[in-house]
Amino acid sequence: MKISKENIIIDENPLIREKSKAVDMPLSAEDKAILNDLYTYVFNSTIEEIAKSENLQPAVGISAIQIGIPKKLMAVVLKDEEGKEVVRYALANPKIISHSIEDAYLASGEGCLSVPDEHQGYVYRHARIKIKAYDLFSDKEIIIKAKDYLAIVLQHEMDHFNGILYYDRINKDNPFYADPQAICIE
């Protein structure tokens, strides 16, 4: 399936709140194809010419539920300032196996392909996490040690598996409360 902006389910659609199910291992050809399509979307979404011609909204991650598939599948791509890929994952059944007590948040707040309206405020997440998952690119179960921005991105995508959107985590009474114990990521 070629994913574009039209395929992305937005927050007014109740399907985005559905809980995702773990996929069977070894991965089926269908699940491999979904993971590959998720990765391709994220990778291409940051290349301006491709994003424009294929109607892609820029992203660093996407979960399968965002295209209407309630499976624990997600892709994450982080690039450096020159546009070179530095992190790429196409993950099945990711699970946090340990995390820091310390939290972190993005100074600019979070955004989401499935949330067209802006929701301002800080979203607190674990500053460091360890995830166990099957990775399509290495074709094996891996352990990911992530911190700071990568940890936030991974947790954001994994929240989708439970029907949680980033703005659910914003303090409604004081959205810009800056916890002095948390790491602020610029």
- Which amino acids are annotated catalytic? 157
CA 146, CA 124: separation in Å to the nearest integer? 15
Which phi-psi region, left, alpha or beta, contains residue 55 (left: φ > 0; alpha: ψ -120 to 50)? left
CA 17, CA 39: separation in Å to the nearest integer? 22
Token pair recorded at residue 40: 């391709």
Half-sphere exposure of 41 (CA within 13 A, CB side): 30
Q: How far is CA 125 from the centre of its chain?
A: 13
Token pair recorded at residue 27: 């991965």
CA 39, CA 46: separation in Å to the nearest integer? 12
CA 32, CA 38: separation in Å to the nearest integer? 10
